[in-house]
Amino acid sequence: MALVPFNRNLIWEPWEEIDRFFNEPVNMKKLDFAPAVNIYEKNDKVFIEAALTGINPENVEVSIENNVLILKGENRRESEVDDKNYYRHEVKMGSFYRAVNLPAKVEEDQAQANYQNGILKIEIPKREKNQAKKIEIKINKK
């Protein structure tokens, strides 16, 4: 029996693949339209700003589930222009979906959203931190 040299490239490394998925830059051409967002904390609130320029806010749905903010909606084409007549076509049309993890636990039912000048601004109060609960240890004597 002949020995075969060890080739690390032939071993599947699932954790490396997961790291690569989360850390490599995303090629935006492969994705559908997704609005850019800014997320920050200030005092006792979390703020989200989403760029929705040219999108009717009536076509946007905002929800929070399990501390994940979900933006979905549709950017509809208003004019009937044949794609062949464009010199440049960079404005994305169609439906979009964006889900982002929030940096802190929030009071989902107290979220407020406002749309002005193409920017959707969402303000959510942070949930109060749970106090550590001491548990008494009962000692059973036999």
Mean pLDDT (whole number) for 29-35: 61
- Residue 105 and residue 45: Cα distance in Å, rounded? 10
Question: Domain 33-77+93-129, what fold?
Answer: Immunoglobulin-like (2.60.40)
What does 89-122 look like in DSSP terms, one character per residue? Answer: --S--EEEEEEEE-SS-B-GGG-EEEEETTEEEE
Residues near 123 by beta carbon (within 8 Å), at least 6 away in sequence: 45, 46, 47, 111, 112, 113
Backbone angles phi, psi at 83, to 5 degrees: -55, -25
CA 50 to chain centre: 11
28-32, 52-56, 102-106, range with the lowest pLDDT: 28-32
Instruction: Specify the pLDDT at position 71.
Output: 92
Mean pLDDT (whole number) for 36-45: 92
Given 3-state DSSP classes, what are the helix, strand and coil percentages for the chain, each rounded to the nearest 5? 20, 35, 50
Q: Tokens 């960079």 identify what position?
A: 90
Mean pLDDT (whole number) for 113-139: 86
Instruction: Give the confidence band of 29 by pLDDT, cuts at 50, 70, 90.
Output: very low
Instruction: Specify the pLDDT at position 27.
Output: 47
Residue pLDDT, tens place only, 65-86: 988 999 998 876 665 566 667 6
Instruction: Specify the pLDDT at position 31.
Output: 46
Residue ranges per structural domain of the chain: 33-77+93-129
Q: Work out the mean pLDDT of the chain and round it to a whole number.
A: 79
Q: Read off the pTM.
A: 0.62
